[in-house]
Chain A
Amino acid sequence: MSMDLSVPETWRVKGPLYRLEAARCKTCGRIHYPPMPACPYCGSRDLERVTLPSEGVLESYSVVYAVPEGSRHKAPVLLGLVRLGRVRVVAEITDADPSELRTGMEVEAVLRRIRSDREAGIIRYGVMFRPKLKGGSRGG
């Protein structure tokens, strides 16, 4: 199952994909994710890296059955639109049954394996979100 995972790419995206690094514009104050070379709102290049909160609200979700090649064993993929403070993020949802998902529910970030390329020995991790347990975190 050799795929198209790249070692340098997997290394480069650690900030946004592992740590939810976003960019804050020092000119207009807005935050965007993933970080771009210039502020998408005002065009300023005067940006600083900030870390998004790891807890947020599920604004929308989709259960994806049309799963791409290389990840078909994961089907269905739970996909979420998550609001973290003033920023929205698209990421996979994990540790949840599709029937548990509701818009407006609280979710928290966890690091999970997104894809792996066994032949090349590459595992790509990334932040996923799981339903937040009230009154404490769940194991695992």
Chain B
Amino acid sequence: MEVYITGVGLTKVGRHFDLSLRELAARAAFEALDSARIDKVDAVVVASTLSYREAGQFDLAGHLAGALGLKGAQTLAMEAGDASGLAAVEAACSLIRAGSAERVLVVGVDKLTDYVSSRVYRDLQRLYEAEVQALYDIGHAGVAGLLARLYMERYGVGRDTLSYWPAMDHSHAKHNPYAMLPFAIDPAAVPRALKVAEPLTLLDSFPLGDGAAALVLESEPHGDARAKVVLATSAAGYPSFTMNEDPLAPESVGEVAARLREVTGIAPANVDVIELGDTFTSIGVILAESLGLSKPGRAAVDAMEGRFTLGGDGPVVNPSGGLKARGHPVGATGVYMVGELALQLSGEYPGLRVDGARRGLAVMASGDGSSAHLVLVEGVA
């Protein structure tokens, strides 16, 4: 059975001190329902990661569905760390393909700015193996710092070269009205910024922001469909990145990329546009290389040479600005990615537009690769 994306709702990622979790979620949800021109759904799937600790609401899907005037809907809450949003899209597609729902509202929401950042770091540390390794004060960025140094030394990639990855994200984001940081940055400024986890700085890491995004998925296109979901899948990896044969090649990411090729015959490098879950610069280049977009050690160089931007010979990567510049309201991010891709394929995307794009891919691994998630969407025009 086909799964069509008929509605998209995106809020600007930022510091929404004036909006509660449900008010923020409602903005995205109502926009998605209105753009799909429906007011009832069979199921509501909610993606959120930090809200259970930060906003403190259990049964978030039930509470939110009721608050949105959708009582009676099936409800499901999805938490998959950094990748909750993509996991929610996967769950929603499964409900439709199994015939248990015809219309599903997917809402991703998280607020990261209600508390001081050190508290958010403590919570985000639980993305990593939490029973032993995250008992150390590794913070949210420590593992990404370890991987960055490993990458630089193995491939002889300099700190200045690595800086072209976040600079690429920022140059794309300046066109995106939903981006938290819609401005270009000078790659030379990256190493000089506030240190987060050496060799990484603040300009290598996602900003802490609030955001909500929503989609309406339907089994029928109703003439309003923006795109259709061809594949939504995920794969568990190892409980710690240390268990990968090569820490710079997370097996969970390799597994979802292999599945994409098996199921659709498409390699990641052959799509037109890709949204990558680049929580940190090191994670971005590792993802790009694990997907085969670049040869090992080459992703930052490819970014520097403009391969992943408009007019480059690779897919356009992160036209949204990526996690670095669009932002990463953790549980919501995957929903943003799929919403942005759907608008991109229907020609409605208000940011950096990839003309004639037919296929879009969203890929994200949680934390250090405990699981990887992939969604392939295709235009319906």
A residues contacting B by CB (< 8 A) are 9, 13, 16-17, 32-34, 36, 40-41, 59-72, 74, 76-77, 79-81, 87-92, 98, 103, 114-115, 124, 126
Contact = CB atoms under 8 A, between A and B. Distances in A.
B72 interface: no
A23 to B, nearest CB: 11
A135 B9 CA distance: 65
Interface string B64-78: 000000000000000
Contacts of A16: 132
B238 interface: yes
B197 A115 contact: no
A17 B142 contact: no
B235 interface: no
Given A60-B147, A63-B195, A68 B139 contact: yes
B184 interface: no
B136 A90 contact: yes
Given A34-B131, A79-B145, A68 B122 contact: yes
Interface of B: 116-119, 121-122, 125, 129, 131-133, 135-143, 145-150, 153, 194-200, 205, 238-240, 242-243, 247
12 contacts: A60-B149, A62-B148, A66-B140, A66-B205, A68-B121, A68-B122, A81-B146, A81-B150, A81-B242, A88-B243, A114-B136, A126-B136
Contact of A65 (B143, B146, B148, B194): B194
A131 to B, nearest CB: 16
Contacts of A91: 136
Contact of A126 (B122, B135, B195, B196): B135
A36 B137 contact: no
A62 B135 contact: no
A77 B145 CA distance: 12
B149 to A, nearest CB: 5
A60 B247 CA distance: 11
A114 B137 CA distance: 8
A67 B121 contact: yes
Contacts of A76: 195
Given A60-B146, A74-B137, A79-B138, A67 B242 contact: no
Nearest to A80: B146
A130 to B, nearest CB: 15
B367 to A, nearest CB: 12
A103 B153 CA distance: 9
A132 B196 CA distance: 27
A69 B121 contact: yes
Contacts of A60: 146-147, 149-150, 153
B150 A79 contact: no
Contact of B145 (A34, A64, A68, A87): A64
A61 B197 contact: no
Contact of B239 (A40, A87, A124, A126): A40
Contacts of A63: 145, 195, 197-198
A66 B149 contact: no
Contact of B132 (A34, A59, A87): A34
A104 to B, nearest CB: 9
A62 B145 CA distance: 5
B149 A79 contact: no
B149 A61 contact: yes
Given A62-B148, A66-B118, 12 more contacts: A9-B131, A16-B132, A34-B129, A64-B145, A65-B197, A77-B136, A81-B146, A90-B133, A90-B136, A90-B146, A114-B137, A115-B137
B242 A90 contact: yes
Given A13-B131, A33-B242, A66-B141, A72 B195 contact: no
A64 B135 contact: no
A103 B136 CA distance: 20
The 3 A-B residue pairs whose C-beta atoms are closest, nearest first, are A62-B145, A68-B122, A34-B132
A69 B197 contact: no
B239 A36 contact: yes
A91 B240 CA distance: 13
B198 A88 contact: no
Contacts of A59: 150
Contact of B139 (A17, A64, A81): A64
A119 B148 CA distance: 37
B146 A68 contact: no
A65 B118 contact: no
Nearest to A77: B137
Contacts of B247: 81, 88
B196 to A, nearest CB: 5
A76 B116 CA distance: 18
A89 B242 contact: yes
Contacts of B132: 13, 16-17, 34
Contacts of B198: 62-65, 98
